[in-house]
Amino acid sequence: MVVKQPVRALRRAVWMAVFVWTCALTDPLGAAQWIRMRSANFELLTSAGEKKGQSLVQYFEQVRRFFVANMKTVDPSDSPRVRIVVFDSKKEFTPFQINEFSPAFFTGGTQGDYIVMLGSAADSYPFAVHEYVHLLIRRSGFRAPLWWHEGLADLYSTLKILGDRIEVGEIPSERSARLALQSTPLDLAAVLGANRNSPIYNDRKTVELFYAQSWALLHMLYLSEPYRPRFADFQAGLSAGASADELFHTIYGKKLQQVHEDLAAYLQQGATVRVQIPLPPRGAAIRIESAAATDLQIQITFANVFMGIEKRRQAAEILDRLSAQYPDSWEVEESLGYLSWSAADRDAARLHFRRAMEKGLGNAAGYVSYASLLGDAGVHAPDIIPLLEKALEIEPSSRDARLRLASMYLSERKYEKMLAILGKMNPFKPEESFQANCLLAYAQAGLGDLPKARKSADDAHPFARTVTEMSEMESLLRTLKQQDLAAAAPAPEAAAAPAGQGVKYTDAANKTPAPVPLEPERTQLKGRLERIDCLGDKLRLIIDVAGKNLALLIVDPNGVTIRGKETGTVAFNCGNQPDTPVAVTFTPTPDSQTGIAGIIRIIEFIKEISSSSPRI
């Protein structure tokens, strides 16, 4: 059941604890000098001093150069700056600490990506790089199991910069000690199959061994002679959705037990292999701007970090104070928008983003977020398009804004503009390849270029991995088939056209019919919601349409637009439902085995069903 907790309720809930918490947070602020630094790719807020801050930013810029050149699946180009927050003392760090053991963490969300760490001395760098690798993997959209994410982050966490080269392979001290102390390793199949809900990942006795074995396996795959030559192929296979067990067999010709034995032998030998990789040429000198941080910059950052680690009450208290102190600040309104959004209060979020825009919103991500919220509320494309165009004016490299704008242009049948905006994104990154190639196919088909449309659809197909994406792929292919049939049909006689009009052709010589209006296939109907069946993480809705039951699927509740509810939040309770008139928009994906007719995109709760409602 979804529970709505508006910002006002959050503020009331925190009021009694404000004094104690504020004293704990503001005392260290009063004693510390906070500095804000910006380079081309990083933004640092630190209380550890300018000299340490300069060293940290320089280090991260060099590390980034290495990753851009050597980790093709983790390409951070065209991405917003990574924000780093460094606390110089344990007292400052404690309010933000996510557990008792981690001196650094990464948090990402609509309010931005942050690496938060305690201390900026060189011995803190491995923790920061570990979190940076997680951030890069998240941004890249690279899909891989948990052991790969954690093992890769550990593998690179101990990299060393040696002049114009980087050395990879040093053993993290905590992993070495854990493996040495453990007489019985975890079953390799359990490690490979683990996710964040698995017992071995949530048991303190086994989680450290899980990390250690994940690191050891990545170390062997990346650095040992028998495995290193095919490492890139193994990584590509994981990204494509293949299992590690399958890849060990197809790429290395080994069963899982053989890999387990190889790993045990590798560790007995000490896993001492290191590799030095040249850094690409630096180019221009790294330029770092430095200035004393303002109270507004510090507190907005703290509020956003609190939101990222789901400490909304602390974020609400900060923003409540800032809204009174800085009434004309668009930054405060934007953060209030994200806070409301995180609390599922979308109406309040839209209000705050509108106010931020009125106060001079200067952040492209804010315009993109506002556009997304308006789209969820059913606002039409002509009112959303200017927001996304403004986002690109502020940040021309925003790929998220480009994809969303191309989608809006599709609903307005502005195919030439779609091609122009998508063309500036090519080549597409793995995480955007499905959506971008589908949009490209619709634009090309809309302009009558069916061969190119089919090629784009073929390019999208390997990236359709979820049920929703597969159903959208089927819809696109059906649309292209209909276009093929329309193009092959005999042209109508000109005499049959109404007086004063003729048949429209794009090319009079070959009589190619002009492109017809094109958009993804969807069906709309009205009925009464009778029952909701819970199918794991999916929902099946049984809707009575003119006396016949229709089964539709909700694959991702966050991807469904809800209309007709004042709160913007709906609790879907499984079982029989009260008499509930609804209007649904869905993508047809008929399945004779399951009886499901399609995937729901929009569900609107209406007062009554008119007699002219469509029948099935």
DSSP 552-611: EEES-GGGSEEES-TTS-----SEEEEEEEEEEEEEE---TTT-EEEEEEEEEE-S---T
Nearest-CA neighbor of 433 among 421, 443, 444, 422? Answer: 422
Tell me which amino acid residue 215 is. Answer: W
In a domain, 551, yes or no: yes
- Name residues whose C-beta falls within 8 Å of residue 318's C-beta, 6 or more positions apart in sequence: 299, 302, 303, 306
* Residue 307: CA count within 13 A, CB half-sphere: 30
In a domain, 463, yes or no: yes
Domain that holds residue 463: 423-484+509-521
Q: What is the mean pLDDT of the segment spanning 588-603?
A: 73
Q: What is the pLDDT of residues 369-391, one digit of tens each?
A: 999 899 878 788 899 999 999 99
Q: How many helices (H) and strands (E) does the chain have?
A: 24, 17
Q: What is the pLDDT of residues 363-374, one digit of tens each?
A: 999 999 999 899
Most confident of 47-61, 179-193, 472-486, 565-579: 47-61
Give the DSSP H/E element, type plus range, for residue 543: strand 538-545
**Rg of the Cα atoms in the chain:** 27
Q: Does pLDDT of 71 surpass 60? A: yes
Domains: count for the chain: 2
Question: What value does the mean pLDDT of the chain take?
Answer: 81
Q: Does pLDDT of 61 surpass 80? A: yes
Q: What is the mean pLDDT of the segment spanning 189-200?
A: 88
pLDDT of residue 328: 96
Dig out the tokens for 376 from the structure. Answer: 């969820």
Q: Name the pLDDT band for 80 (thresholds 50, 70, 90).
A: confident
pLDDT of residue 22: 38
Chain centroid to Cα 531, Å, comes to: 32
Q: Are residues 468 and 547 in the same domain?
A: no
Contact (CB, 8 A) for 227 and 254: no
Distance between CA 518 and CA 526 in Å, rounded?
Answer: 24
Q: Are residues 440 and 515 in the same domain?
A: yes
Q: What is the pLDDT of residues 122-178, one digit of tens each?
A: 778 888 899 899 888 887 777 789 999 999 999 999 898 888 888 998 888 766 555
Range list of H helices, 224-255: 231-239, 244-252
Residues in the chain: 616
pLDDT of residue 452: 95
Q: Are residues 517 and 527 in the same domain?
A: no
Q: Are residues 597 and 558 in the same domain?
A: yes
Distance between CA 467 and CA 473 in Å, rounded?
Answer: 10
Distance between CA 413 and CA 450 in Å, rounded?
Answer: 16
Q: Does pLDDT of 17 surpass 90? A: no
Which tops the pLDDT comparison, 435 or 503?
A: 435
pLDDT of residue 508: 33
pLDDT of residue 459: 93
pLDDT of residue 255: 94
Backbone angles phi, psi at 603, to 5 degrees: -130, 125
Tell me which amino acid residue 452 is. Answer: K
Q: State the virtual CA torsion across 526, 529, 535, 536 in degrees, nearest 10.
A: 100
- Name residues whose C-beta falls within 8 Å of residue 30's C-beta, 6 or more positions apart in sequence: none
Q: Does pLDDT of 301 surpass 90? A: yes
pLDDT of residue 331: 96
Backbone angles phi, psi at 242, to 5 degrees: -75, 155
Which tops the pLDDT comparison, 126 or 502?
A: 126
Cα dihedral 67, 73, 79, 85 sign: negative
Q: 587-595 long-range contacts, Cβ below 8 Å, gap at least 24?
A: 587/471, 587/472, 587/475, 587/520, 587/521, 587/522, 587/523, 588/475, 588/521, 588/522, 588/523, 589/471, 589/474, 589/475, 594/551, 595/551
pLDDT of residue 178: 56
Contact (CB, 8 A) for 480 and 454: yes
Distance between CA 315 and CA 11 in Å, rounded?
Answer: 9
Q: What is the mean pLDDT of the segment spanning 487-513?
A: 42
- In the chain, what percentage of residues exceed pLDDT 70? 82
Q: Name the pLDDT band for 468 (thresholds 50, 70, 90).
A: low
Q: What is the mean pLDDT of the segment spanning 230-248?
A: 88
Q: Are residues 515 and 558 in the same domain?
A: no
pLDDT of residue 463: 85
Which tops the pLDDT comparison, 341 or 592?
A: 341
- Mark residue 564 as left, alpha or beta (left: phi above 0; alpha: psi -120 to 50; beta: remaining): left
In a domain, 1, yes or no: no
In a domain, 64, yes or no: no
Q: Which residue has the tokens 């004309």?
A: 328
Give the DSSP H/E element, type plus range, for residue 43: strand 42-46
Q: Are residues 565 and 516 in the same domain?
A: no
Q: Angle 204-223/146-157 helices, nearest 10 degrees?
A: 70
Q: Which of 496, 521, 546 represents a domain boundary (last residue)?
A: 521
pLDDT of residue 611: 44
In a domain, 558, yes or no: yes
pLDDT of residue 212: 86
Q: Does pLDDT of 81 surpass 50? A: yes
pLDDT of residue 497: 35
In a domain, 141, yes or no: no
Distance between CA 234 and CA 227 in Å, rounded?
Answer: 9
Q: Angle 231-239/204-223 helices, nearest 10 degrees?
A: 130
Q: 245-248 long-range contacts, Cβ below 8 Å, gap at least 24?
A: 245/189, 245/192
Q: Which of 521, 542, 571 represents a domain boundary (last residue)?
A: 521
Q: Does pLDDT of 223 surpass 80? A: yes
Nearest-CA neighbor of 62 among 280, 290, 277? Answer: 280
In a domain, 379, yes or no: no
Q: Which of 78-92, 97-111, 189-203, 415-429 has the lowest mean pLDDT?
A: 97-111
Q: Are residues 555 and 513 in the same domain?
A: no
**Mode of pairing for the β-strands spanning 35-38 and 42-46:** antiparallel
Most confident of 78-82, 206-210, 444-448, 585-589: 444-448
Q: Are residues 527 and 590 in the same domain?
A: yes
Three-class SS state of 142: coil
Q: What is the mean pLDDT of the segment spanning 564-581?
A: 76
Q: What is the mean pLDDT of the segment spanning 554-563?
A: 78
Q: Does pLDDT of 23 surpass 50? A: no
Q: Are residues 556 and 583 in the same domain?
A: yes
Distance between CA 85 and CA 298 in Å, rounded?
Answer: 10
In a domain, 600, yes or no: yes
Q: Are residues 467 and 513 in the same domain?
A: yes
Task: List the CATH number of the domain containing 560.
Answer: 2.40.50.140
Q: Which of 312-316, 327-331, 428-432, 593-597 has the lowest mean pLDDT?
A: 593-597
Q: Are residues 529 and 581 in the same domain?
A: yes
Distance between CA 7 and CA 337 in Å, rounded?
Answer: 10
Q: Name the pLDDT band for 540 (thresholds 50, 70, 90).
A: confident
Q: What is the mean pLDDT of the segment spanning 543-550?
A: 84
Most confident of 63-67, 203-207, 305-309, 330-334: 330-334
Q: Does pLDDT of 20 surpass 60? A: no
pLDDT of residue 74: 53
pLDDT of residue 589: 66
Nearest-CA neighbor of 438 among 405, 413, 472, 411? Answer: 472
Tell me which amino acid residue 373 is. Answer: L
Contact (CB, 8 A) for 356 and 330: yes
Q: Are residues 599 and 532 in the same domain?
A: yes
